[in-house]
Structure 1
Amino acid sequence: MDPYKFLHIAVNTITRLGKRSETPADPNPHLHVLSKDLSINPSHNTWARIYLPQEALNHSSSSSFIKLPIIAFYHGGGFIALAANTTFFHDFLIELVQRTQCVLVSVNYRLAPEHRLPAAYDDALEALHWIRTSEDKWLTSFADYSKCYLMGESAGGNIAYNAGLRAAAEVDHLEPVKIKGLILVQPFFGGVKRTSSEERLANDMMLPQPVTDLLWELSLPVEADRDHEYSNPTAEKGSMVFDNIARLGWKVIVFGTYGDPLIDRQIDLVKSLQKHHAHVEGHFQGEDKHGAFGGQPTKGKALELYDTMKKLFTTNY
């Protein structure tokens, strides 16, 4: 199979041939969840879509109103495609915000190969500083900055993890934003040596092996291989950060399914964090494919995700 054709990109160009469905933001207060787009860095063309549950508006004037946890979310797309306004993610986040009652900031970061990693990580961290200094009323009036979680799906899960490592190095400069944990949904990691799940599902039609290899080739720094720390968190250099995550006391939750070629790498990350005494949970079950959580936002795996997140929001991590 041709991975370029699969990804709808032209060989030796940066032309994206596939057009994915997009949904505009809607701040209508009569909706269950409101949304709006705001610029983060015009020079990089980065921006965020903010989601606010309508229920928060209804109760904000009450003396018993309690501000909501805030999530910084990073979309998937193999680092090279999709956006914060892609319908797939918009529909998923509308449901997530409604069911978990949080404020959510979905970050539209720069894409590879025009902007290879770590550009997306830099944008992810810049978005946290933007949240910290923004005067937008949805954030200042409704978000509890002391309960911030970094979350991402697929490549976005990789970004949430690596942005978290950067944030861990400058927690004092993020005040009043305090990161409580990482929520990684089928995160996209790789490595030079194939895992058992990658070999077993090499011809998986949702995420074929030639496609994952090409995504790393287009997104990693030039001449880097898949054991680079951006790709392989359990490689020698990547594992050095686990102690820091444990020291900060963050809760890390990793979601995965056994029909996903990436499952073994996700399990290995959980085991590595456990060895370093980090607060980590692995939720691995079912034979669903990659993209199972966001693909059906009103049933199945997504409902399990929402329930776990609601429990997380009520703990003291």
Structure 2
Amino acid sequence: MDSIYTRTATAAPNTKEITMEIPTFLRIYKDGTIERLQESPMVPPTLEDPTTATSSKDVVISNNPLISARLYLPKLTPTHENNLNKVPILVYFHGGGFFFESAFSQLHHKYTNLFVSVTHVLVVSVEYRLAPETPLPAAYDDCWEALKWVARNKTEAWLMKHGDLNRVFIGGDSAGANIVHSMAMRAGVEALPCGVKVYGAFVSHPYFYGSKAIGSEAVAGHEESVSFVVWNFVYPSAPGGVDNPMINPLVHGASGLAGIGCCKLLVCTAERDELRDRAILYYEAVKESGWQGEVELFQVEDEDHVFHIHHPQTENAFKMLKRFADFLRN
């Protein structure tokens, strides 16, 4: 399965001419080389992680285009092994601004192992295509294909034996949370195969933005902010730019949030997350939209954007894990 790990992004010597840069995140050189500055190294799956006892393996969802995933299975009790009690399925979308990080990265692999050991769910962590090699909306299409693959799958042993298709969740952090919103909206208007439905969704520190600054966002230099620049970089053809409904779900003309295609939603944010006010505004808009599901807001004090991914063993990160466990298991 070496092809799963193929990435055109490689480090480049400092002597090369830089043609485009997002400081501390990415450089593109004149010869086309792309250097992702914050991407953690790729790591293989583990049959049984020595710390968490979580098992993982990689699967190919599609060869054209190449879409793959890393599956995670918690350590099962005899009841689960006897197939008397299946576990919820979480289709997970990693963060990274749509242009870096991976389902196979050390950062997300370590976090997901711990996540699965605490929540006791089966995770399908999707490896979608990244910009700039493949600009948006490709990542959205890849994630929808992955969700359909889970719904119709009749061959993958872990899903067949241990996954509960009556309790399929979607979740993600940052850009992955942005994808979750789009998948939930799409599930409201487009049926998944085999009658499978999305039961619930969580958006963790979602990457939402807009052309007008809100709350704590700085009005001066708003258009030079990282969030603004990144969106135009990963989706240069987006109608409306940073006010496209994919990045600004509350913009005039966006599909109504009453159409969210699941029955429960958890919105997570952190006190020092620069995107916090967008997350809270989204939560309030869902609550007031007339949507028939249950929406909850979970905030962590004195923490920054996706702190739980970078520091998963802190006290506050464990608070988030326990909240996720309650959401997914109840």
Q: 1:148: Cα distance to partner?
A: 0.8
- Say if 2:152 and 2:194, in contact at 8 Å, map to a contact too: no
For the Cα contact (< 8 Å) 2:169–2:328, is it kept in 1? no
Matched residue, 1:4: 22
1:170 and 2:170 aligned: no
2:254 matches 1:234? no
Show CA shifts across 1:165-192 (max 9, x none). Answer: 1122123x33343211111110101100
Larger mean Cα displacement after TM superposition, 249-258 or 88-97 = 249-258
Q: Please tell me whether the aligned partners of residues 172 and 204 of structure 2 are also in contact (alpha carbons under 8 angstroms).
A: yes
Structure-2 residue corresponding to 1:47: 68
Question: CA, structure 1 residues 291+61, in 2 after alignment: closer, same or farther (shift >3 Å)?
Answer: closer
Report what 1:143 is aligned to: 163
Q: Is the 8 A contact 1:185 1:256 kept in 2?
A: yes
Judging changes above 3 Å, is the alpha-carbon distance between structure 1 residues 29 and 259 closer, same or farther for their aligned structure 2 residues? Answer: closer
Q: Hey, what does 1:251 align to over in structure 2?
A: 264
Alpha-carbon distance, 1:312 to partner: 2.0
In structure 2, distance between residues paired with 1:149 and 1:186: 17
Summarize the alignment of residues 208-227 of structure 1 with structure 2, pairs less than 5 Å apart: 210-222=225-237, 224=239, 225-227=241-243
Measured against aligned partners, the alpha-carbon deviations of 1:112-163 in whole angstroms (never above 9, x if no partner) come to 1222222111111100111123211100000001101110000000011111
Residue aligning to 2:41: 21
TM score, norm. by length of structure 1: 0.88
Secondary structure of the 1:267 match is helix
User: Which of 80, 86, 99 is the aligned partner of 2:99?
Assistant: 80
* Structure-2 residue corresponding to 1:160: 180
Structure 2 residue matching 1:54: 3-state secondary structure: coil
Per the alignment, residue 110 of structure 1 pairs with 129
State the alpha-carbon separation in 2 of the partners of residues 223 and 123 from structure 1: 17
Query: What letter is aligned with 1:235?
Result: V
Q: Is 1:32–1:98's contact at 8 Å kept on the other side of the alignment?
A: yes
> Structure 1 vs Structure 2: percent identity of aligned residues?
27
Offset at residue 209 of structure 1 (A): 5.9
Report the residue type matching 2:244 in the other structure: H
**Unpaired segments of 5 or more residues in structure 1?**
none
Cα distance change on mapping 1:273 and 1:17 into 2, 3 Å? closer
For 1:183, the equivalent position in structure 2 comes to 202
**Cα distance, 1:78 vs. partner?**
0.3
Alpha-carbon contact 2:201-2:262 (below 8 Å) kept = no
Q: Is the 8 A contact 1:72 1:107 kept in 2?
A: yes
Q: Which residue of 1 aligns with 2:6?
A: none
CA contact (8 A) 1:150 1:183 kept: yes
Partner of 2:213: 194
* Structure 1 residue 276 corresponds to structure 2 residue 296: no
1:61/1:74 CA distance change after superposition, 3 Å: closer
The Cα shift of 1:5 comes to 3.2
Where 1:271 maps in the other structure, the secondary structure is helix
1:203-260 deviation per Cα after TM superposition (whole angstroms, max 9, x unaligned): 9xxxx9632222111122426421111110111122x331112xx5521111101211
Q: Distance in 1 between matches of 2:148 and 2:114?
A: 26
CA distance 1:223–1:67, shift in 2 (3 Å)? closer
Q: Is the 8 A contact 1:191 1:232 kept in 2?
A: yes
CA distance in 2, matches of 1:140, 1:126: 18
- Native 8 Å contact 1:147 1:180 kept in 2: yes
Q: Larger relative CO (CA 8 A, sep 6+): 1 or 2?
A: 1
1:302 positional shift:
2.3
Which runs of no fewer than 5 residues in structure 2 stay unpaired? 1-19
Contact 1:200 1:261 in 2 (8 A): no
Could you tell me which residue of structure 2 aligns to residue 289 of structure 1? Answer: 304
Shift of the alpha carbon at 1:83?
Answer: 0.8
1:183 alignment partner AA: F
Local SS of the residue matching 1:96: helix
Please state whether the residue corresponding to 1:175 is helix, strand or coil.
helix
TM-score (norm 2): 0.85
The answer on whether the counterparts of 2:197 and 2:262 sit within 8 Å (CA) in structure 1 is no
Flag the structure with higher helix content.
1
1:14 and 1:127, CA in 2 relative to 1: closer, same or farther beyond 3 A?
farther
Alignment map for 1:291-306 (pairs within 5 Å): 291-306=306-321
